[in-house]
Amino acid sequence: MMTLTQDDWTAITLTLQLASIVTTILLIISTPLAWWLARSHRWWKAPVNALVAMPLVLPPTVLGFYLLVAMGPAGPIGHFTAFFGMNGLAFSFWGLVIGSCLYSLPFVVQPIQNAFQAMGNRPLEVASTLGAGPIDRFFSVIFPLCKPGFITGAILGFAHTVGEFGVVLMIGGNIPGETRVVSVQLYDHVESLQYDSAHGLALILILFAFFTLTGLFIVQRRQQTGMIVQE
């Protein structure tokens, strides 16, 4: 029943590659963004929060459509890439990375933001009176105390990128080894009535989702019990 072709394996590798790159980029972007969202009192914090959270409620096709327009030869990103003599980002792996970053952003930002908020200012104040500078504070206090938030963010970002379909279809198209990720490959199988192959990929995705989420809830439970003991 489970017959994975060479194409299927290529799609799986590509998906994992994409998800790893996107997760790494998102962790780097989300940390300062989440910090700002957790600490700022500026009035424009709410709109920024909404912008970050928008992919949660928007159909992926909307985001995909605008990205396609922007990355196309006539769009602003298209002009930018053309100016620097690069190929267009639409229908390319890196276009997919950008789209996935935007689309998975809230899944990484929000857990980290929550962790920052739950931590409060006190550990930072203590650390600074003990002589820790800003960078020292981040690595010696903020990161260890908010580690569950970072782990949750990373897991959700990774899993969500693996499971993404709409944005990929809109801006990535269906180029084998370049933009054809697992979800698109599965769609192709179904389209061409290759149900056996579709079963194989679908089962892999289900197992992946199940174990990822189990891992996630273990992390979260540990975080909660940790908090209870702390009180």
Query: Which residues lie near another protein (CB under 8 A)?
Result: 121-134, 136, 140-141, 144-145, 147, 226, 229-230
Answer positive or negative: Cα dihedral of 28, 57, 171, 202.
positive
CB of 43 to another protein, least distance (A): 13
How far is Cα of residue 183 from the mean position of the Cα atoms in its chain? 16
Whether 145 contacts 126, CB under 8 Å: no
Whether 160 contacts 105, CB under 8 Å: no
CB of 36 to another protein, least distance (A): 11
In the bound state with another protein, the residue whose beta carbon lies nearer, of 40 and 192, is: 40
CB of 131 to another protein, least distance (A): 4
Alpha-carbon distance of 218 to 224, in angstroms, equals: 10
CB of 199 to another protein, least distance (A): 45
In the bound state with another protein, the residue whose beta carbon lies nearer, of 47 and 131, is: 131
In the bound state with another protein, the residue whose beta carbon lies nearer, of 90 and 127, is: 127
In the bound state with another protein, the residue whose beta carbon lies nearer, of 1 and 135, is: 135
Could you tell me which residues come within 8 angstroms of residue 63 by beta carbon, excluding any fewer than 6 positions away?
55, 99, 102, 103, 166, 167, 170
